[in-house]
Amino acid sequence: MTAVTSLGFLLLTANSIVAVRKSRGDTAATVFILASYACLVLLYYCLRRFETAASGSVARGHARIDVWILTTLLTTMFSWRVAALLPWLVAAGVWFMAASTVLGGYYALFLLPRTA
């Protein structure tokens, strides 16, 4: 793990701890923070597995699926949280952009021809 990666994890962890402390008493906010943190850590792990796996290997394919699932989960979680604060028309736009991102990621990861 590089120094930049370690620093990023340190900042993510510190920010999550501060957010949990500020959300004392709000169970939903605490669960959201912890779930987001866990998903980000798992996403980093799966991206690392994807990068280190041999091109065309089964492990790389599984890592690709895991990356898409985790990014979809994070996109959905953040969209849900943001859309709840907005008027319905703007919230519909947030959900449209989230769906476009998820579908675009699926297209890029699974349907486009692989060059490497």
**Tens of pLDDT along 86-113?**
999 999 999 999 999 999 999 998 998 8
pLDDT at 56: 84
Share of the chain above pLDDT 90, in %: 85
Q: Is the pLDDT of residue 8 over 80?
A: yes
pTM, two decimal places: 0.87
- Would you place residue 115 in the very low, low, confident or very high pLDDT band (cuts 50, 70, 90)? low
* One-letter amino acid for residue 12 of the chain: L
Query: Is the backbone of residue 56 left (phi > 0), alpha (psi -120 to 50) or beta?
Result: left
Contact between 75 and 98 (Cβ < 8 Å): yes
